[in-house]
Amino acid sequence: MHQPQPPAVRNASKADQKRSGPIRAMRPAPQQRLDRRAALGRLLPLWPHELADESPQGRLRVVARLRRALRAERRRGLAGHWTYDLARHVELLRLYRAEAAALSETCRQVPACFAKGGSLPVKIS
């Protein structure tokens, strides 16, 4: 079934029609500030007090949980499991990188944040 086009599209050249198609693959604009509580709450089963804890120890626990969730999601993807979700995997990775960066920044300011034998999180790609 043929649908009529608006006058602007009818009078445009073929090259212009190709460039100004209805579907455009665009990357979303980066968020100015990561809403940490909302993003973590959507992906990980965390208590409200765990989401609110922005101390180095609290961030380390969240990074450890994110690392475990990433490992599990990667295993599902490699196995071709039906519950694998690429969007969840990407969001977990984005949050992991943001939390690891915030943790390393905090630890530069507070040198004794890993005094009990902890270490900085490893880089996951």
| 31-75 tens-digit pLDDT | 545 588 899 999 999 999 999 998 899 999 999 999 999 999 999
- Note the pLDDT tens digit of each residue in 79-113: 999 999 999 999 999 999 999 999 988 877 655 55
Distance between CA atoms of residues 98 and 35, nearest Å? 11
pTM summary value: 0.63
Please choose, from the candidates 99, 125, 124, the residue with its C-alpha nearest in 3D space to the C-alpha of residue 34. 99
Contact 44, 65 (CB under 8 A): yes
